[in-house]
């Protein structure tokens, strides 16, 4: 009997995978808490929450129970002209916890589509009002997804190169890394002053794909205040930062000014199923509320607000809002801080940054890049230790499910120290 791994090779094309260099995928047959278990019985610690989606551990029995209940009541129905309890309840509950000012929830399927909807909401808002604001501003090295609109507002990189002729024009401001805060804020203001900008889109506090690059709440606040001053929509892409990752429920909760639009996905269902939402203010919604049907939002997906997936999201919210989950997030953040302190003097480290449950260790290299050769060396090293990590070039990071134990964290920290020692014996 061929193994799953062998059968996979015949028929599957994997995402973000150089298929020639990495022809073999590890076949997972079971998920259990923080562990992914393969067909040979190996147990891998999922240190990156399976691409930043998992909150409470794999195959969580409570989420499974709620999904199973929903499946036998109403698995799916059209969401135009029809509605259902799970979608309404989820919207009500999200609006209670989202940054203030959010009034309506638009459902889609993933992070990229949540961003597409946000862009379309903003552009059509100005169009519906007859105001000529057509351009978007984003941060250099941003990542907002892989559909065309989301790629357009993402930094130009190897990810987007082949499509550059087809991406609409976006103004990019420098990232507000250490020493660049003022330049970044000034660049935003000068663009807002001279161009007709519809919206500013940003990953608040942490740029994930760029290598867990972090900047301060003060800078985020300054960006938002400027957008308010120049009447420009603020789109907060909380696809990665949402649901407690940065120490508060949402990264925007670290500041006073609220965005106009918030994009969520990933942790929304606790990582169990795909769902995206785009939340917006009453003002945005009202610009589409018209007798003139050309002013409605022309967007929707077949599986919009799928009830089974909404049930998973509701179950995940139950778990997320428990005191024990908040305590776990604090415990992880504290452990990360102590670990960072213990290795910060290591000469192979260029930078260590941490916010909430996210920690990133950037290693010194001559040519930092997504395809740096160190990346594969590190990936393999940690897999041998039965830890799933996907370093971003020369940057190792941890983004664990909140159910990870102190012992599991200590094991991972120990393996990282062992790797650092190999680089500088
Ligand atoms: C900030 C951000 N926005 C959008 C996306 C796209 O989400 P998805 O992969 O679900 O399309 C990602 C994915 O990593 C992300 O990190």
pLDDT digits (tens, 9 = 90+) for 218-260: 999 999 999 999 999 999 999 999 999 999 999 999 999 999 9
* Stretch 201-221: mean pLDDT: 98
For atom 7 of ligand 1, the residue with the nearest CA is 111
237 a catalytic residue = yes
- CA 111 to ligand 1 centroid distance, Å: 5
- The one catalytic residue in 223, 266, 397, 402 is 266
What does the pLDDT read at residue 166?
97
Find out whether the beta carbon of 115 lies less than 6 Å from any atom of ligand 1. yes
* Stretch 196-211: mean pLDDT: 97
Of the candidates 314, 287, 238, the residue with the CA atom closest to the CA atom of residue 103: 287
What digits encode the pLDDT tens for the residues 303-355? Answer: 999 999 999 999 999 999 999 999 999 999 999 999 999 999 999 999 999 99
378 contacts 396 by C-beta, under 8 angstroms: yes
Of the candidates 137, 173, 176, the residue with the CA atom closest to the CA atom of residue 153: 137
Strands 395-398 and 358-363: antiparallel
Find out whether the beta carbon of 239 lies less than 6 Å from any atom of ligand 1. yes
**Does CATH number 3.40.50.460 belong to domain 64-320?**
no
Q: What kind and span of H or E run contains 86?
A: helix 85-97
139 pLDDT band (50/70/90 cuts)? very high
- CA 195 to ligand 1 centroid distance, Å: 27
Strands 395-398 and 197-202: unpaired
pLDDT of 372 above 80? no
What digits encode the pLDDT tens for the residues 104-129? Answer: 999 999 999 999 999 999 999 999 99
What does the pLDDT read at residue 206?
98
Find out whether the beta carbon of 38 lies less than 6 Å from any atom of ligand 1. no
- The one catalytic residue in 38, 46, 237, 253 is 237
What digits encode the pLDDT tens for the residues 66-95? Answer: 999 999 999 999 999 999 999 999 999 999
pLDDT of 369 above 90? no
Find out whether the beta carbon of 245 lies less than 6 Å from any atom of ligand 1. no
Q: Which two tokens stand for residue 182?
A: 């003022």
195 pLDDT band (50/70/90 cuts)? confident
Classified by CATH at the fold level, domain 4-59+323-423 comes out as 3.90.1150
Supply the Cα-derived Rg of the chain in whole angstroms: 22
Count the alpha carbons within 13 Å of 234 in the hemisphere toward its beta carbon.
Answer: 26
pLDDT of 194 above 70? yes
Strands 135-139 and 170-173: parallel
Tally of residues, the chain: 425
**Strand runs (DSSP E) across 109-183, as ranges?**
135-139, 170-173
- Per the prediction, the chain carries an average pLDDT of 97
368 pLDDT band (50/70/90 cuts)? low
- CA 46 to ligand 1 centroid distance, Å: 18
* Stretch 20-24: mean pLDDT: 88
Find out whether the beta carbon of 153 lies less than 6 Å from any atom of ligand 1. no
154 contacts 142 by C-beta, under 8 angstroms: yes
370 a catalytic residue = no
What does the pLDDT read at residue 366?
81
pTM: 0.97
For a pLDDT cut of 90, what percent of the chain falls above it? 96
Task: Delimit the domains of the chain by residue range.
Answer: 4-59+323-423, 64-320
For a pLDDT cut of 70, what percent of the chain falls above it? 99
pLDDT of 28 above 70? yes
For atom 8 of ligand 1, the residue with the nearest CA is 111
Q: What is the position in ligand 1's atom list of the atom closest to the CA of 207?
A: 1
Q: How many other C-beta atoms can be found within 10 angstroms of the C-beta atom of residue 363?
A: 21
d(CA 215, CA 383): 30
d(CA 340, CA 336): 6
- The one catalytic residue in 16, 62, 166, 298 is 16
143 a catalytic residue = yes
Q: Which two tokens stand for residue 297?
A: 């939002």
Q: Which two tokens stand for residue 57?
A: 């551990």
23 pLDDT band (50/70/90 cuts)? confident
């Amino acid at each position: 009997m061929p193994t799953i791994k062998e059968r996979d090779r015949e028929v599957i094309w994997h995402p973000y995978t150089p298929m020639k260099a990495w022809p073999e995928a590890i076949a997972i047959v079971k998920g259990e808490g923080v562990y992914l278990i393969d067909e040979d019985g190996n147990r891998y610690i999922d240190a990156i929450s399976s691409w930043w989606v998992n909150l409470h551990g794999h195959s969580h029995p409570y989420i499974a129970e709620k999904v199973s209940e929903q499946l036998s009541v109403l698995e799916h129905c059209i969401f135009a002209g029809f509605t259902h309890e799970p979608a309404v309840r989820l919207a009500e509950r999200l609006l209670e916890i989202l940054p203030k000012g959010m009034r309506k929830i638009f459902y889609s399927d993933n992070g990229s589509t949540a961003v597409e909807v946000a862009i379309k909401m903003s552009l059509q808002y100005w169009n519906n009002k007859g105001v000529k604001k057509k351009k978007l501003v984003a941060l250099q090295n941003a990542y907002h997804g892989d559909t065309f609109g989301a790629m357009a507002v993402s930094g130009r990189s190897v990810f987007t190169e082949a499509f550059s002729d087809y991406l609409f024009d976006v103004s990019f401001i420098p990232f507000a890394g250490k020493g660049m805060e003022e330049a970044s804020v000034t660049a935003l203001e000068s663009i807002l002053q001279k161009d007709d900008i519809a919206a500013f889109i940003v990953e608040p506090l942490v740029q994930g794909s760029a290598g867990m690059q972090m900047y301060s709440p003060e800078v985020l606040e300054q960006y938002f205040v400027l957008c308010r001053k120049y009447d420009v929509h603020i789109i907060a892409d909380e696809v990665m930062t949402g649901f407690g990752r940065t120490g508060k429920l949402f990264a925007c909760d670290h500041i006073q000014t609220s965005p106009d639009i918030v994009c969520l996905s990933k942790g929304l269902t606790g990582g169990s199923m795909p769902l995206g939402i785009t939340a917006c203010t009453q003002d945005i919604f009202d610009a589409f509320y018209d007798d003139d049907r050309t002013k409605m939002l022309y967007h929707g997906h077949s599986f919009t607000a799928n009830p089974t997936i909404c049930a998973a999201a509701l179950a995940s919210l139950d778990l997320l809002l428990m005191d024990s989950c908040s305590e776990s997030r604090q415990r992880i953040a504290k452990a990360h801080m102590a670990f960072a302190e213990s290795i910060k003097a290591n000469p192979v480290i260029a930078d260590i940054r941490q916010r909430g449950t996210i920690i990133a260790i950037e290693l010194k290299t001559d040519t930092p890049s997504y395809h740096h050769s160190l990346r594969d060396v590190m990936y393999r090293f940690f897999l041998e230790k039965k830890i799933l990590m996907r370093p971003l070039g020369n940057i190792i990071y941890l983004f664990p499910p909140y159910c990870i134990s102190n012992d599991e964290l200590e094991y991972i920290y120990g393996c990282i120290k062992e790797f650092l020692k190999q680089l500088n014996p």
